[in-house]
Structure 1
C-alpha cells in the first residue's frame, strides 16, 4: 500500500475535500429523522401548525445542503479517481520503458496492455465509487446506532444479532470471490492476446482463409472470460440478497417488538418511526460498506497485478556505468555466451569471439535460426550477454550508460517498425532537430527520394499504424533513412534490405560508404551480394562462429559459404 499511496499524494486535497463533504452531508442527513420525530410527537400531537411548518422548513434546508454537498463530493471523488488512475498509468508506462526485452517477454504484451487499461480502470472505479460509501456508511452506521440506543436501548439490541450475521456473510463472499477476480483478469489477458495477434496478422489470416479458425480461437478465450466473469459476479451479487434478507428480518423484528412497546405505552409512535429510519440507515450503511469491500477486493487484485510491473527489476541496469563516451565504434566480442532464460539447457550463442575495427563493414551470414539477430541485439544491450564480455572502443559495454550506448548505435531491425504519424515525424526519430537538407540527404542515400514525391503529401503524408499504407520495400528504406539521420558510430542493418532489388540495395550500400565512412557497419543478410564488399564476413552456424574471412577467402576455404554462393548464383541464372 505504500507504493499505492505515492500516486495519491498529488490528489490529497481533492480527497480531503471529498471526505469533508461526505461527513457534513451525513451529519445533516442523520438530523432529518430527529426533526421528523419532533414533527410527529410535538407538532402533530399538539396540532401546532406553525411548529410543523418551521420544522418542515428545517428538513428542506437540511436536504438542500445535503444535495449540494453530495454534488461537491461527486466532483472531488471523480477528480481524485481519474487523477490517481492517470498517475498510476503514467508511472507503470514509465517503468516499462526501463525494461529490457527479457522483462517484457516475462509479462507478454497483451498482459501489459490489460494491466495499464482494464486493471487501472478497475482501481479508478473503486476510488470514484468507493470513497463516498466507504466514509459515509461507517459514520452513518455508528451515529445511527448511538441514536437508536438513546431512543430505545432494549430495541436496539437487535443490531447485536444482525451485525455478526452480516459480517460472517460478507467474509465468506470476499474470501471466495477474490481468487475469481484474479482469474477473470487473466482471462482478459488471453482475449487481448488473441485480438492483438489477429489484427497484426490479419493479412495472413485472410490470405490463408483462416477466419473461421480465428473465430473459433477467439470464441474459446471469450467463453473462458464469460465463465470467469459469471462466476465472479454471481458470487459477488449474492451479497445483496443475503443482506436484504437480514435487513428485512431485522425490520420485522423491530416492528414486532416495537409495536408491543407502543401498545403498552413504553414508546411513542414518532420515536418508533424515527427508530425505523435509523435502522434502515444502519442496514443500508452495512450494505454500502459490503459493496465497498467487494470493490476493494477487486481493485486489490488489479493493484497486485500492476504492482508486479513496479516491483519488476530491470535485467539490464546502469549500476556499473561511468561517464565514458563512444568516440570510434570498434567492437570486440570475447567468449560471449547467451540464452534467453537462465533455466534453458542450451545456449543460443556459444563462445562468440571476434573483433571489428573502427569504420569497418562486417557481414553476418547464416541459416535461419543461427542466432544472427540475437547476436547484434547484444551490442546495444537489448539483451544482456549471459557470459563473456562485449567491448566498444576497448571498454566493456556495461560501462556506458544505456542511453548513451543506444544513442551511438543505429539499428534497423529485421521487423521494420513505423509509427502512426507523418513520414517526417517518423524520420525525426533519427534526429529530432534535423533540417530539411539533412532529411533530403538521408532520403537520397536510402533511395526514399525515388518514391517520396509519389506519396499524397510527400513528407507530410500520414502513415497508418505500422506503416500499412506503404510497401515493404518503401518501409525498409524509410527505416534506413531514419537510421542514417542519426549519424551513429555503429550502424546495424538486420536483414533490412530483403525487400529491395539488388540495384537499389547496391545504391544504398554505396551511399552509406561515402556518407558514413567512419561509421562501423554490421550487415545481416541472406544474400551474399549484400555482404560481398564487406571487410570481413562472419559465418554463423547453430549459434557458433563457423568461419570469419573476406568474400574471396571464404569462397575458397568455407563449404557453407560456397554452397550459399553457388545456390544463389544458380538462382540468378535461372531467373
Structure 2
C-alpha cells in the first residue's frame, strides 16, 4: 500500500498541516484531565470558588482549541483522501486505457470496475483514518501513560499488565479477519460479473425463459458474499466488547486499589479521576490502533489488486524511437503472419501473406472460426503477432506509435458500439473537429441520413447507453458513418454489413466505392454478394489461406470458396457467376 502513497506528494503540505493539528489536539486532550484534577484537589477540596472558575474557564479555552483542531484536521484529511482517490482512479483508468485486448481478458471487465471503485474507496477510507490516528493514537497512548505515571507510578503498573492482553486480543481478531477481507473482494468481483452478464444479456435471458435460472445464479453469488460479510463482521464485532470488558475490569481494579490509597492519604480524589481519564485515553488509543490494524490489511488487499493493474507489463508498447514516417499512404502488407490467443496451443491464423494498396478492396471470407476477425484485429494492434510482420505504409506497425497507427485506420467492429449522447456526438467520435457538413456527408454515404432525419430531433437525437433505442442495422450504419467522417488511409469493415438488407447493402457499397477510392479497404464478410467486386478475396479455412484471387478466379480454383458461394446462391445464379 505504501507504493500507492507516492500519489500523496502533491498534498504534502496538507498532510503536514493535518499532523500538526492532530498533535495540538492530542496535547489538548492530554492536558484536560490534569486541569480537572487540579480543580478537584485544589478548588473543590479547599472551597476556592475563584480557582474553580479561573481553571474551568481555562479548560473551556483548551477544549475549544482542541475542537477547532479536530474540525480543521478532519477537513484537511478528507480533502487529501478525496484528492488521492481521484488521482488514483485517474492513474488506474489511464493504465487500463493502454491495455491490449489480451490484458483486458486477463483481468476481466467486472474486476477492473471493482478495482476502480470499491477497492479505491477502501484505501481512501483507511487514508482518512491513518491521517487522523497515525500521530494521535500513539501520542495519546504514550502521553496518557506518562501522565498516568506522573499521577501515581505504582498504580500505572496495572496498565502495563493490561496492554499485552489487549494486544493479544487485537492480534487474534486481525489474524482471523484478514483472509476473509481478501475473500470478500474476490466474491464482490464474482457478484459484479454475474450482475453485468444479466444486465447486458437481458434480451437473451428473457428470450430463452431463463429468468429463474439467472435469479438463482445471482442469489448464490449474493448469498456467498453476504455470508462472508456476516462472518467477518462477527469477528470484528467481538473487538469492541472485548476492549470494553478490559477497560471496565481495569477501571474496577483501579478504583478498588485507589480507594484504599485515598483512605490512607497516599492519593487524592482528583488524581484518581485524572488517572481513570488517562486510562480511558490509553485504551481508546489502543482501540483506534486496533481499528487501523484491522482496516489496513483490508485496504492492503485492495492496494495489491490495484498495484497488479498498475504494475502489469504491457504486451503492446510504443517504440522508444518511432521510425520516420513513410511518404506512402494506405499500403498494408502481411508477411507470414501467425497468431495464437493466450493459453491456446493452436494458431488462430497461420502464415498469412498478402498486400493491398490505396484504391483496392480486399475482402476476407471464410467459415465461422476461420480467423477473419482475428486477422483484422491485428492491423490496429489490438493484439500483437507472434510470428511474421505487418507493414503499414512500408513500416512495421511495431515501429509505429499506437496513436499514429490508429490515426490511419477507420475501424468498424463486428459488434456495432454506440455511446450515450447525440447522433452528432457519436459520428464526431471518429473526428473530433468534424463539421456539420462532414457529419451529414458521412451519414449520407452510410445510408443513415434517412432514418436520422425521421427522428424527432434529427442529428441531435439522443442515443441511449449501448444504442438500445436504435435497431441493429441503424447501429451499423452509424458506426460506418463514424469511420467515414475520419477519412482515413485504411478502412477496416469487420462484418459490418450483416444487419443490412440487400438493397441498403448494395446502395452503401456503391457510395463507399467513390468515397474510398484513395484508401485501402479491407472487408470481412459473410455474404458473397458484398464482396464479388473486390479486387482481391482472401479465403480463410481453419486459420490458413485456402485461396486468394478475384471472385471468378476463386470459383474455378478454390473449393472452399465454391462451397461458400454455392450455399448462398441458387444453381442458376451460380452457373451465371461462372460464365
TM-score, length-scaled by structure 1: 0.97
Shift of 1:462: 1.0
1:175 aligns with 2:175: yes
2:449 equivalent in structure 1 = 449
CA contact (8 A) 2:339 2:387 kept: yes
1:404 equivalent in structure 2 = 404
In structure 2, what is the Cα distance between the partners aligned to 1:162 and 1:491?
Answer: 75
2:338 equivalent in structure 1 = 337
CA contact (8 A) 1:21 1:69 kept: yes
| Residues 1:321 and 1:355: Cα distance change in structure 2 (over 3 Å) | farther
Shift of 1:386: 1.2
1:257 aligns with 2:266: no
TM-score, length-scaled by structure 2: 0.96
CA contact (8 A) 1:321 1:401 kept: no
In structure 2, what is the Cα distance between the partners aligned to 1:50 and 1:527?
Answer: 101
CA contact (8 A) 1:320 1:398 kept: no
1:112 equivalent in structure 2 = 112
The alignment partner of 2:123 has SS state of helix
Provide, for residues 115-146 of structure 1, a one-character-per-residue CA deviation record: whole Å limited to 9, x for no partner: 00000111111122342233211111111100
2:525 equivalent in structure 1 = 525
CA contact (8 A) 2:18 2:77 kept: yes
2:576 equivalent in structure 1 = none
Shift of 1:175: 2.4
Provide, for residues 432-470 of structure 1, a one-character-per-residue CA deviation record: whole Å limited to 9, x for no partner: 111111111111110111211111211111110011111
2:426 equivalent in structure 1 = 426
Query: Number of matched residues?
Result: 572
Q: Report which stretch shifted further, 296-305 or 244-253.
A: 244-253
1:54 aligns with 2:54: yes
Shift of 1:511: 1.4
2:211 equivalent in structure 1 = 211
2:369 equivalent in structure 1 = 369
1:139 equivalent in structure 2 = 139
Shift of 1:98: 0.8
1:561 equivalent in structure 2 = 561
1:231 aligns with 2:231: yes
CA contact (8 A) 1:81 1:124 kept: yes
CA contact (8 A) 1:140 1:282 kept: yes
Provide, for residues 225-261 of structure 1, a one-character-per-residue CA deviation record: whole Å limited to 9, x for no partner: 1122122222222222222222222212212222221
The alignment partner of 2:569 has SS state of helix
| Residues 1:196 and 1:321: Cα distance change in structure 2 (over 3 Å) | farther
Shift of 1:102: 0.8
The alignment partner of 1:25 has SS state of helix
The alignment partner of 1:244 has SS state of helix
The alignment partner of 1:121 has SS state of helix
Shift of 1:26: 1.5
1:306 equivalent in structure 2 = 306
Root-mean-square deviation (CA, aligned residues, Å) is 1.5
CA contact (8 A) 2:319 2:400 kept: no
In structure 2, what is the Cα distance between the partners aligned to 1:571 and 1:496?
Answer: 27
In structure 1, what is the Cα distance between the partners aligned to 2:63 and 2:412?
Answer: 67
Shift of 1:360: 1.2
In structure 2, what is the Cα distance between the partners aligned to 1:157 and 1:570?
Answer: 100
Q: Report which stretch shifted further, 63-72 or 411-420.
A: 63-72
In structure 2, what is the Cα distance between the partners aligned to 1:351 and 1:556?
Answer: 23
Shift of 1:320: 5.8
Shift of 1:319: 2.8
In structure 1, what is the Cα distance between the partners aligned to 2:422 and 2:54?
Answer: 70
Shift of 1:321: 5.1
Provide, for residues 371-430 of structure 1, a one-character-per-residue CA deviation record: whole Å limited to 9, x for no partner: 110110001110001111111223211111110001101110001111111111111111
Unpaired runs of at least 5, structure 2: 574-579
The alignment partner of 1:481 has SS state of helix
1:379 equivalent in structure 2 = 379
Shift of 1:2: 5.3
In structure 1, what is the Cα distance between the partners aligned to 2:132 and 2:5?
Answer: 19
CA contact (8 A) 1:324 1:399 kept: no
| Residues 1:318 and 1:571: Cα distance change in structure 2 (over 3 Å) | farther
| Residues 1:571 and 1:420: Cα distance change in structure 2 (over 3 Å) | farther
1:548 equivalent in structure 2 = 548
Provide, for residues 522-574 of structure 1, a one-character-per-residue CA deviation record: whole Å limited to 9, x for no partner: 1111100011110011111111111111100111222221222122113999x
1:539 equivalent in structure 2 = 539
In structure 1, what is the Cα distance between the partners aligned to 2:205 and 2:554?
Answer: 42
In structure 1, what is the Cα distance between the partners aligned to 2:259 and 2:208?
Answer: 77
Provide, for residues 8-28 of structure 1, a one-character-per-residue CA deviation record: whole Å limited to 9, x for no partner: 112222222222221111111
The alignment partner of 1:154 has SS state of coil
CA contact (8 A) 1:330 1:359 kept: no
CA contact (8 A) 1:144 1:282 kept: yes
1:193 aligns with 2:199: no
Q: Report which stretch shifted further, 488-497 or 248-257.
A: 248-257
In structure 1, what is the Cα distance between the partners aligned to 2:508 and 2:398?
Answer: 32
